[in-house]
A and B are shown apart, each in its own frame.
Chain A
C-alpha cells in the first residue's frame, strides 16, 4: 500500500514537472529577424543565425531607448 502511494506521488510529481517544463518552453519568445526586399522577397533569420546576431543587438539597443 505504502509502495503504491509512493509510486502515485512520484508519478504526480513527474507529471507536474513535465507540464511546467512544457509550458515554459511554449511561453519562451524567440528572437527573429525578417528582412523584406523591393522585389517582394522576404528572408527570415532565426535567433542564432550569424545574420540575426549582427542585427538583433541593434534592435535590442533601440528597444531600450526611453519612451515617453
Chain B
C-alpha cells in the first residue's frame, strides 16, 4: 500500500482527523490529506520540531515515539515509526487511543505492512458482542 492509499484509508476510518501528513525522517512530505502542499510541509516541519523538543523533556532521554498536544482549539498528534512519521490535527477532545491506533495503522499501511483487523472488531462491537476495553 502506498502513502496516498494509507491516508485515504485513514480519513475513511477516522472522522476525527481533519488533516494528516506522512513524512520521512528528513522532514520531506510523503503524502498528505486535508492540507495543501505548503500546509503539509509546514505540518511536517512542526512535527519534527515537536519530536525533537519532546525528546529532551526527560532527564534519562530516550526515543520519543508519540506526542499528543491538546489545546482548546484542537489536538496535534505525532507518531514516529522508524524512518517515517505521521502528524494529524483533530478537533478538541478527540478519542486519543483511537486516533493513535488509526495513525499507527496508517504508518504501517504506508510502509507496506498488512493492516491490523480493527474493522472486524469494530463491527463486532457495533453488533453488541464485544466490550470496548
Contact = CB atoms under 8 A, between A and B. Distances in A.
A30 B69 CA distance: 11
Contacts of A58: 46, 49-50, 53, 69
Contact of A34 (B34, B46, B67, B87): B67
Given A29-B92, A58-B50, A63-B74, A35 B64 contact: yes
The dominant DSSP class at the B interface is mixed
Range, interface on chain A: 20 to 34
Interface residues of B, number: 36
| Overall SS of chain A's interface | mixed
14 contacts: A31-B69, A31-B70, A32-B70, A34-B70, A36-B65, A37-B62, A56-B69, A61-B46, A62-B47, A63-B89, A65-B39, A66-B35, A67-B34, A67-B89
Interface of A: 28-39, 41, 43, 45, 51, 54-56, 58-68
